[in-house]
Chain A
Amino acid sequence: MMWRLFRTSVTVQTRERLGLIGVFFFSLLTIVLFNLVLSASVGREELSMAAIVWISTLLGGTLQINRTFDSERTNAVLDGFRLVPGAVTRLYLIKFFFNVVITTLVMVFSTAAAIIFFNASSDIVSPTFFVPMVLGVVGYCAVGTTFSGMVVAHHKKDMLLPAISYPIVLPIVLAVIQCYPTGGDIRDLLSGVWLPLVIVFDLVYVAAGFMVFETLVEE
């Protein structure tokens, strides 16, 4: 019986090639993500906290973004929104804002947990520590909220959403962690190259998400 069950599982898994490919693709993206974030902190203890908190925020934020439209899936709620002019766009803005708030809370929680478990100094808690990550969260949530609308009804959305959103946000993942070696205050960050790049990313993708979301939901 065990052998038969095993053979059935193998058959089912190999038929669902997309799922298998998605798993390996996600694994590759995770390796890249960790490399981009953690390589900045190699040999630099003061950056390792930022790297750990940023990775944790991204992963926690993914879980949050994945459930963005769960409540609208049932009872044709999204169909109801389509009937009211402008309602879909407002829905996107509210969902995006909510995702930013929750993911920012995840970031704060991760910081506290990291300070406790890594026995780190609480001196790191400052605007300079949080501002780049908050701006990174804005850009990530802009992309994620839009893509969450695409995959809301898909049975593999847990795998699909990170697989399609992580490639787009890789530059902002890199840019946020590169803000940290600079030190100094917010003005120093703004006069550098990385924080302005994060801000540009945010502006581009918030605008793009705002413009395309209604088109997504209409289909």
Chain B
Amino acid sequence: MSNKWLLACVLLLIANMGLIFGYAPIEEHQGMVQKIFYFHVASAMTMYLGFGIGTIASLMYVIKRRLKYDALAVAGIEIGVLFCTIVLITGPIWAKPIWGAWWTWDPRLTTTFFLWVIFVAYFLLRKAMVDPAKSRLYSAILAIFGSLDIPIVILAVKLWRGMHPAVLGNKDSMPMEMRITLICAMVSMLITGSVLIRLRYLAERRRHGR
């Protein structure tokens, strides 16, 4: 069953690649490298999905202490960290030819990086604790603390670095083909992320013997 879902996701992503490289036009000023934009933005959306699910599940675990919530938290945060890493890799790859530097403390990349370190710390703490019950509870509390931090991080980084530069200029100037491709990329990545979270959740439940 899980193989069918994974195969469906792979096919969806391949179709998405076809749209990105075959349908969406090449951006006038940035050239081919602009196509990273579709992976970058779509991964960011999926990252927020994963972290959102992980945080809510962590809160439910602290309140209810049911293993299913812990499993969902681990699944959500793990997939969130995966897509966060993709954002942090594609961002500098895109930034280097456009802005001439791998890392510029751009507001959104900086916020993403802060989220990445918070949720990597989640797994460090989880692995470090020998007692499984403590591992689950403490990592859930760290996830909640991390999620409390998110609005503060977003505000602090925006105040520090100003607004994200309009890489594509005015939104209204984005050609329809680019907009359609972006929407398809986001939908396919979100579906893929959801399937991965589901599969990871089931694997974690099996590990608990459920």
Contact = CB atoms under 8 A, between A and B. Distances in A.
A44 interface: no
Given A25-B120, A164-B142, A197-B159, A171 B152 contact: yes
A168 B118 contact: yes
Nearest to B113: A32
Nearest to A173: B156
Contact of B124 (A25, A174, A197): A25
Report, as a range, how many residues of chain A touch the other chain.
35 or more
Interface string A191-205: 001100100110011
B133 A219 contact: yes
Interface in B101-146: 105, 113-114, 117-118, 120-121, 124-125, 127-129, 131, 133-134, 137-138, 141-142, 144-146
Q: Is the interface of B mostly helix, strand, loop or mixed?
A: helix
Contacts of A32: 113, 117
B203 interface: no
A143 B145 contact: yes
Nearest to A154: B128
Contacts of B156: 171, 174-175, 197
B180 interface: no
A163 B124 contact: yes
Contacts of B148: 204-205, 208
A29 interface: yes
Contacts of B120: 25, 167
A170 B153 contact: yes
B62 interface: yes
B160 interface: yes
B149 interface: yes
A154 B157 CA distance: 33
A160 B124 contact: yes
A167 B114 CA distance: 7
Ranked 7 nearest A-B pairs via Cβ: A167-B117, A171-B156, A167-B118, A164-B121, A150-B138, A171-B152, A167-B121
Given A143-B145, A215-B62, 13 more contacts: A18-B124, A18-B128, A32-B117, A150-B125, A163-B124, A164-B124, A168-B142, A168-B146, A171-B156, A171-B157, A174-B160, A197-B152, A205-B145
10 contacts: A160-B124, A160-B128, A164-B125, A171-B149, A171-B157, A174-B160, A197-B155, A197-B159, A201-B152, A215-B141
Interface of B: 62, 105, 113-114, 117-118, 120-121, 124-125, 127-129, 131, 133-134, 137-138, 141-142, 144-146, 148-149, 152-153, 155-157, 159-160
